[in-house]
Amino acid sequence: MRLSRSFIPTLKETPAEAQIASHRLMLRAGLVRQVASGIYAWLPAGLRVLDNIATLVREEQAAAGAQEMLMPTLQSADLWRESGRYDAYGPEMLRIRDRHERDLLYAPTNEELITDLARQTIKSYRELPQMLYQIQWKFRDEVRPRFGVMRGREFFMKDGYSFDRDYESAVASYRRMMLSYMRTFQRMGVRAIPMLADTGPIGGELSHEFIVLAPTGESQVFYDSTLEELDYLKSDFSYENHEDLAAFHGLINSYYAATEEKHDEARWEAVPAANRRSGRGIEVGQIFYFGTKYSDKMNFRVAGHDGKTITPEMGSYGIGVSRLVGAIIEASHDEAGIIWPAAVAPFRAAILNLRVGDAGCDRVCEDIYAKFGGAALLDDRDERAGGKFADADLMGHPWQIIVGPRGVAAGTVELKNRATGTREEVSVESALSRVL
């Protein structure tokens, strides 16, 4: 993308309405704009980050055997009356009436709709297990939307749902998703710690939240620091093997981690003092095992192996895709701006043309830009160098390739790494081989 023609409206001033760093930086870097309280438009650079996060989620969901689908945001209230949640959900649910006076709602989550789809389709235990997911907008009319996309009213969520024939198989599905989540977050360049959690309005008996540490987080958390060091991408736990899944779950459970609601002083005291970490955290995902809570209420039964019918066991699995954009920035920024982990950055590099109109600088910039095939942002604005450096730092590209007349004469460019701040004079070829 060429910055001179792009719609990336960066701001020099700090917006007064933003209380936390990620919200300020998302507005200043031109990623989002507020449309109404807790409702945001995603501008081109912001959408690229959202898409990158969704792509990583999709790859890891596929690896774990989940199938993607897409459900509507608007649905009939009748399904929610069946489960009893139409009343139970309260004012957080946005209720709508159509021209025929039929009650609709903007889905805050989809346990009812997916259960309805499954009961229409799945007739025998032989068709189980099933693991389905979507990445779709949700609406929750939060009392206090705040911190930008972190607690929005409309937000983008990955929501997955499992159907299994018995408890053992349902637990394997839960563990499979948990492993997939650990790999997903690690690939995004954030450390999310799984913690035993309360189940809230989704219900059920077993739940984990995935928490990214940040001082501005909304939950108080306690955990053993060993959990920060586990490498789930190198581990060769298999999704197919129940013993592997049990070993993975055992590994996680052998270290203490809990949110305030589940905190247990006695177990906390048993954690070696040097490993005790407590602080604030942002919940970027949550998973639930709730057995037959929905399948029972919605009368979803299938033929079992012995001629009797069985009620499928369910779980649901959420990732806050839009919240993650804020959470990643909370975990990775400095005074100058965002520091994007490479895997989610809107652009892999910015190419800064320090003298637009100079034939040599223009040519070198265009050559480099062409090599990236759309993955780089070319700052071809007719602006002073200081402004370009400040905007590139603000936008947080992992690399800056700085092209000035002196370098062009010597056949070099300056390569800056945003995370470390190091700057080096290198040839164009070596800059490209490092960054591409």
**Interacting residues with ligand P5A (CB under 6 A):** 109, 140, 142, 151-152, 155, 157, 159, 202, 283-286, 288, 316-318, 320, 322-323
39, β-bridge pairs: 36
Distance CA 163, CA 177 (A): 13
Nearer to ligand P5A, 280 or 381 (CB): 280
**Which residue lies nearer to ligand P5A by CB, 129 or 281?**
281
Shortest CA distance to 151 belongs to which of 203, 92, 87? Answer: 92
Write b or e for each residue in 104-124: b if 16 or more Cβ atoms lie within 10 A of its Cβ, otherwise e: bbbbbbbbbbbbbebbeebee
Residue 325 or 354: the one with the smaller Cβ distance to ligand P5A is 325
Host H or E run for residue 365:
helix 359-372
Q: CB 115 → ligand P5A: shortest distance, Å?
A: 12
Question: Between residues 114 and 271, which has the closer beta carbon with respect to ligand P5A?
Answer: 114
Q: Degrees (nearest 5) of the Cα angle 38, 148, 16?
A: 110
Q: Are 425 and 414 in contact (CB under 8 A)?
A: yes
- Phi, psi angle pair for 65, to nearest 5°: 90, 15
Collapsing DSSP to helix, strand or coil, 291 comes out as strand
Nearest-approach distance from CB 99 to ligand P5A, in angstroms: 29
- Minimum Å gap between C-beta 218 and ligand P5A is 10
Name the DSSP class of 159.
E
Q: How far is the CB of 221 from ligand P5A (least distance, A)?
A: 14
Task: Return the residue matching tokens 């701040």.
Answer: 421
**Is 112 or 224 the residue whose CB approaches ligand P5A more closely?**
112
How far apart (Å, rounded) are the C-alpha atoms in residues 96 and 93? 10
Q: How far is the CB of 151 from ligand P5A (least distance, A)?
A: 5
3-state class of 205 per DSSP?
coil
Minimum CB separation of residue 320 from ligand P5A in Å reads: 2
Which 8-state DSSP code applies to residue 124? B
Task: Give min distance, CB of 94 to ligand P5A, in A.
Answer: 12
Nearer residue to ligand P5A within complex by CB, 283 or 391? 283
Compute the least distance from the CB of residue 283 to ligand P5A, in Å.
5
Q: Which residues pair with 276 in a beta bridge?
A: 224
- Residue nearest ligand P5A, Cβ-based: 320
Instruction: Return the structure tokens found at 86.
Output: 């139409």
The smaller minimum CB distance to ligand P5A, of residues 177 and 408, is found at 177
Please, which residue, 91 or 307, has the CB nearer to ligand P5A? 91
Lay out the sheet containing 399-403: strands in order across.
376-379, 349-353, 399-403, 412-417, 423-427
